[in-house]
Chains A and B, each alone.
Chain A
Amino acid sequence: SAVISQKPSRDICQRGTSLTIQCQVDSQVTMMFWYRQQPGQSLTLIATANQGSEATYESGFVIDKFPISRPNLTFSTLTVSNMSPEDSSIYLCSATPSTDTQYFGPGTRLTVL
Chain B
Amino acid sequence: GIQVEQSPPDLILQEGANSTLRCNFSDSVNNLQWFHQNPWGQLINLFYIPSGTKQNGRLSATTVATERYSLLYISSSQTTDSGVYFCAVIYNQGGKLIFGQGTELSVKP
List, in ascending order, chain A residues with CB within 8 A of B43's CB.
Answer: 43, 92, 104, 107
> Are A99 and B48 interface neighbours, CB within 8 A?
yes
**Nearest opposing residue in chain A for B30, CB measure:** A100
> Are A107 and B100 interface neighbours, CB within 8 A?
no
Cβ-based interface call for A94 (8 A): yes
List, in ascending order, chain A residues with CB within 8 A of B94's CB.
Answer: 48
Q: Given A42-B101, A42-B102, A100-B48 in contact, is the A33-B95 Cβ separation under 8 Å?
A: yes
> Are B30 and A109 interface neighbours, CB within 8 A?
no
**Nearest opposing residue in chain B for A48, CB measure:** B96
**Could you say which of B30, B31, B48, B96 has the most chain A C-beta atoms within 10 Å of its C-beta?**
B96
> Are B102 and A109 interface neighbours, CB within 8 A?
no
Q: How many residues of chain B have a CB within 8 Å of chain A? A: 22
List, in ascending order, chain A residues with CB within 8 A of B95's CB.
Answer: 31, 33, 48, 96, 102
Cβ-based interface call for A112 (8 A): no
Segment 80-109 of B: residues with Cβ below 8 Å from A:
86, 88, 90, 94-102
Given A100-B50, A102-B31, A102-B95, 11 new contacts (CB under 8 A): A31-B95, A37-B41, A42-B102, A43-B43, A102-B33, A103-B45, A104-B45, A106-B42, A107-B41, A107-B43, A109-B41
